[in-house]
Amino acid sequence: MKKYFTVLIILTFITSLAFAADDPFSKLDKNQDGKISKQEYMDAVRQNFDWLDKNHDGVLTPDELAHMSKKDLELLMKEADANHDGKIMKEEYEQAAEKQFSTLDKNRDGSIDKKEWKTFRTSQKKPGLILFTF
Protein backbone atom coordinates (compact mmCIF):
# COMPACT_ATOMS: atom_id res chain seq x y z
CA MET A 1 0.00 0.00 0.00
CA LYS A 2 2.87 2.37 0.78
CA LYS A 3 4.25 1.77 -2.71
CA TYR A 4 0.88 2.56 -4.29
CA PHE A 5 0.55 5.69 -2.14
CA THR A 6 4.03 6.78 -3.21
CA VAL A 7 3.16 6.27 -6.86
CA LEU A 8 -0.03 8.24 -6.36
CA ILE A 9 1.80 11.06 -4.62
CA ILE A 10 4.46 11.36 -7.31
CA LEU A 11 1.86 11.35 -10.01
CA THR A 12 2.91 13.75 -12.68
CA PHE A 13 2.56 14.45 -16.34
CA ILE A 14 4.86 15.15 -19.25
CA THR A 15 3.49 18.11 -21.04
CA SER A 16 4.81 21.41 -22.14
CA LEU A 17 3.32 24.83 -21.92
CA ALA A 18 2.94 27.18 -24.78
CA PHE A 19 5.12 29.55 -22.76
CA ALA A 20 7.89 27.03 -22.08
CA ALA A 21 11.23 28.68 -21.42
CA ASP A 22 14.84 27.74 -20.86
CA ASP A 23 14.41 28.47 -17.15
CA PRO A 24 11.00 27.13 -16.11
CA PHE A 25 11.55 28.02 -12.44
CA SER A 26 11.87 31.72 -13.26
CA LYS A 27 8.91 31.52 -15.61
CA LEU A 28 6.71 30.00 -12.89
CA ASP A 29 7.98 32.38 -10.20
CA LYS A 30 5.85 35.27 -11.45
CA ASN A 31 6.67 37.62 -8.59
CA GLN A 32 10.39 36.72 -8.75
CA ASP A 33 10.67 36.10 -5.00
CA GLY A 34 12.84 33.01 -5.44
CA LYS A 35 10.09 30.48 -4.81
CA ILE A 36 7.01 29.10 -6.55
CA SER A 37 3.88 29.51 -4.48
CA LYS A 38 1.01 27.09 -4.76
CA GLN A 39 -0.97 29.84 -6.51
CA GLU A 40 1.80 30.37 -9.09
CA TYR A 41 2.07 26.61 -9.62
CA MET A 42 -1.66 26.09 -10.00
CA ASP A 43 -1.98 29.07 -12.35
CA ALA A 44 0.60 27.41 -14.61
CA VAL A 45 -1.22 24.07 -14.34
CA ARG A 46 -4.49 25.71 -15.38
CA GLN A 47 -2.76 27.42 -18.28
CA ASN A 48 -1.22 24.10 -19.28
CA PHE A 49 -4.60 22.37 -19.17
CA ASP A 50 -6.15 25.09 -21.32
CA TRP A 51 -3.35 24.69 -23.84
CA LEU A 52 -3.83 20.91 -23.98
CA ASP A 53 -7.61 21.21 -24.20
CA LYS A 54 -7.67 21.87 -27.94
CA ASN A 55 -11.46 22.07 -28.27
CA HIS A 56 -11.86 24.06 -25.02
CA ASP A 57 -14.56 21.83 -23.57
CA GLY A 58 -12.94 21.45 -20.13
CA VAL A 59 -12.04 17.80 -20.74
CA LEU A 60 -8.83 16.16 -21.95
CA THR A 61 -9.39 13.15 -24.17
CA PRO A 62 -6.82 10.63 -25.40
CA ASP A 63 -6.95 12.36 -28.81
CA GLU A 64 -5.85 15.64 -27.24
CA LEU A 65 -3.01 13.82 -25.48
CA ALA A 66 -1.86 11.89 -28.55
CA HIS A 67 1.57 13.55 -28.33
CA MET A 68 2.30 11.49 -25.19
CA SER A 69 3.79 8.03 -25.29
CA LYS A 70 1.33 5.20 -24.75
CA LYS A 71 2.93 4.37 -21.39
CA ASP A 72 2.78 7.98 -20.18
CA LEU A 73 -0.80 8.38 -21.35
CA GLU A 74 -1.85 5.19 -19.55
CA LEU A 75 -0.21 6.36 -16.33
CA LEU A 76 -1.77 9.79 -16.63
CA MET A 77 -5.21 8.31 -17.18
CA LYS A 78 -4.75 5.87 -14.32
CA GLU A 79 -3.68 8.54 -11.86
CA ALA A 80 -5.66 11.61 -12.94
CA ASP A 81 -8.88 10.11 -14.29
CA ALA A 82 -10.51 9.84 -10.87
CA ASN A 83 -13.88 8.61 -12.14
CA HIS A 84 -12.30 6.22 -14.70
CA ASP A 85 -14.37 7.47 -17.63
CA GLY A 86 -11.43 7.66 -20.05
CA LYS A 87 -11.29 11.46 -19.91
CA ILE A 88 -9.62 13.94 -17.60
CA MET A 89 -11.77 16.80 -16.44
CA LYS A 90 -10.07 20.04 -15.47
CA GLU A 91 -10.95 19.44 -11.82
CA GLU A 92 -9.31 15.99 -11.90
CA TYR A 93 -6.19 17.46 -13.54
CA GLU A 94 -5.96 20.18 -10.90
CA GLN A 95 -6.43 17.69 -8.05
CA ALA A 96 -3.54 15.60 -9.40
CA ALA A 97 -1.40 18.73 -9.69
CA GLU A 98 -2.19 19.69 -6.10
CA LYS A 99 -0.95 16.28 -4.96
CA GLN A 100 2.23 16.80 -6.94
CA PHE A 101 2.75 20.25 -5.44
CA SER A 102 2.48 18.73 -1.97
CA THR A 103 5.10 16.16 -2.95
CA LEU A 104 7.47 18.79 -4.31
CA ASP A 105 7.08 21.04 -1.27
CA LYS A 106 9.34 18.85 0.85
CA ASN A 107 9.59 21.25 3.80
CA ARG A 108 5.82 21.95 3.75
CA ASP A 109 6.22 25.73 3.75
CA GLY A 110 3.64 26.29 1.01
CA SER A 111 6.13 26.98 -1.75
CA ILE A 112 8.74 25.28 -3.89
CA ASP A 113 12.20 26.76 -3.52
CA LYS A 114 15.07 26.35 -5.95
CA LYS A 115 16.51 23.38 -4.06
CA GLU A 116 13.18 21.54 -4.11
CA TRP A 117 12.76 22.42 -7.80
CA LYS A 118 16.22 21.08 -8.61
CA THR A 119 15.35 17.81 -6.85
CA PHE A 120 12.13 17.68 -8.89
CA ARG A 121 13.94 18.31 -12.18
CA THR A 122 16.56 15.67 -11.38
CA SER A 123 13.86 13.13 -10.50
CA GLN A 124 12.44 13.47 -14.02
CA LYS A 125 15.27 11.26 -15.20
CA LYS A 126 14.07 8.33 -13.09
CA PRO A 127 12.29 5.69 -15.16
CA GLY A 128 8.58 5.33 -14.62
CA LEU A 129 7.95 8.89 -13.44
CA ILE A 130 5.89 11.26 -15.45
CA LEU A 131 6.38 14.82 -14.29
CA PHE A 132 4.72 18.12 -15.01
CA THR A 133 7.14 20.24 -16.93
CA PHE A 134 6.66 23.89 -17.63
Supply the DSSP string of 80-93, one letter for each residue: H-TT-SSSEEHHHH
pLDDT digits (tens, 9 = 90+) for 68-77: 888 888 888 8
Sequence-ordered alpha helix ranges (H) in the chain? 2-9, 24-28, 38-52, 70-80, 90-104, 114-123
pLDDT digits (tens, 9 = 90+) for 22-57: 578 888 899 999 999 999 999 999 998 999 999 999
Residue type present at position 83? N
The answer to whether residue 10 scores a pLDDT higher than 80 is no
Question: What is the pLDDT at residue 35?
Answer: 96
